[in-house]
Amino acid sequence: MFNFLKKKEKFSLVSPVSGDLINLDKVEDQVFSSKAMGDGFAVIPTEKTLYSPINGKVKMVFPTKHAICFQLNNGQDVIVHVGIDTVELNGEGFSVFVKEGDTVKQGQKIIELSEKIFNDSNINLVTMVVLLETSDMNLPRFDKFIKQGEGVIKNDTCY
């Protein structure tokens, strides 16, 4: 009763890693660039450690360790997906520091890449952060360096 009086819970997404911030349509993977999974952003990492972009819970850690699905406190799902075709590595070179059901805070360490994987020029490590099942959020054109923990999206708009 009186749900119309209930405030929608606010959320923010920060960059999980330092690097070049780009729009999803620049990602060399049709699933992400077409926004078939949802809208968001990508970072070409300059560091090998990734941190939680959200406050919420870990909903799923993919067995291949290249992706983690989170649930924001408002119920919205967010996926952090490291790299293009990194599923084929079968977890090699990925250390994961969270598990399903964990509560996470922005800036909490979630994944570390091995030196071997991070320095392999044949592996595209562009990291996508996607709000699942969202339509085009009309995000501005990104083309800048961003530091880990810097805000990108707040309540469906940009910082």
- At 64-118, the pLDDT tens digits run 999 999 999 889 999 999 999 999 999 999 999 999 999 999 999 999 999 999 9
Which listed residue (76, 81, 127, 128) is catalytic? 81
Among 9, 56, 7, which Cα is nearest to 129's? Answer: 56
pLDDT for res 136: 65
Burial-class residue 64 by CB neighbours within 10 Å (0-12, 13-18, 19+): middle
Residue scoring higher pLDDT (134 or 12): 12
Whole-angstrom distance, CA of residue 35 vs CA of residue 134: 9
Averaged pLDDT for residues 32-38? 93
* pLDDT over threshold 80, residue 6: no
User: For residue 146, how many other CB atoms are within 10 A of its CB?
Assistant: 20
* 7-24 per-position pLDDT tens digit: 456 788 999 999 999 999
Q: Compute the mean pLDDT over every residue in the chain, rounded to the nearest whole number.
A: 90
Residues whose CB falls within 8 Å of the CB of residue 22, separated by 6 or more in sequence, listed in order:
41, 42, 43, 44, 126, 142, 143
With bands split at pLDDT 50, 70 and 90, how would you rate the model's confidence at 1? very low
pLDDT for res 11: 80
* pLDDT over threshold 50, residue 129: yes
Whole-angstrom distance, CA of residue 144 vs CA of residue 152: 11
* pLDDT over threshold 70, residue 135: no
Phi/psi of residue 103, nearest 5 degrees:
-85, 135
With bands split at pLDDT 50, 70 and 90, how would you rate the model's confidence at 32? very high
Whole-angstrom distance, CA of residue 74 vs CA of residue 62: 22
pLDDT for res 4: 42
Q: Domains of the chain by range and CATH?
A: 10-158 (2.70.70.10)
Three-state SS sequence of the chain: CCHHHCCCCCCEEECCCCEEEEEHHHCCCHHHHCCCCEEEEEEEECCCEEECCCCEEEEEECCCCCEEEEEECCCCEEEEEECCCHHHHCCCCEEECCCCCCEECCCCEEEEECHHHHCCCCCCCCEEEEEECCCCCCCCCCEEEECCCCEEEECCEEC
* pLDDT over threshold 60, residue 39: yes
| Region of poorest pLDDT, from 122-126, 128-132, 140-144 | 140-144
**Catalytic residue check, 66:** no
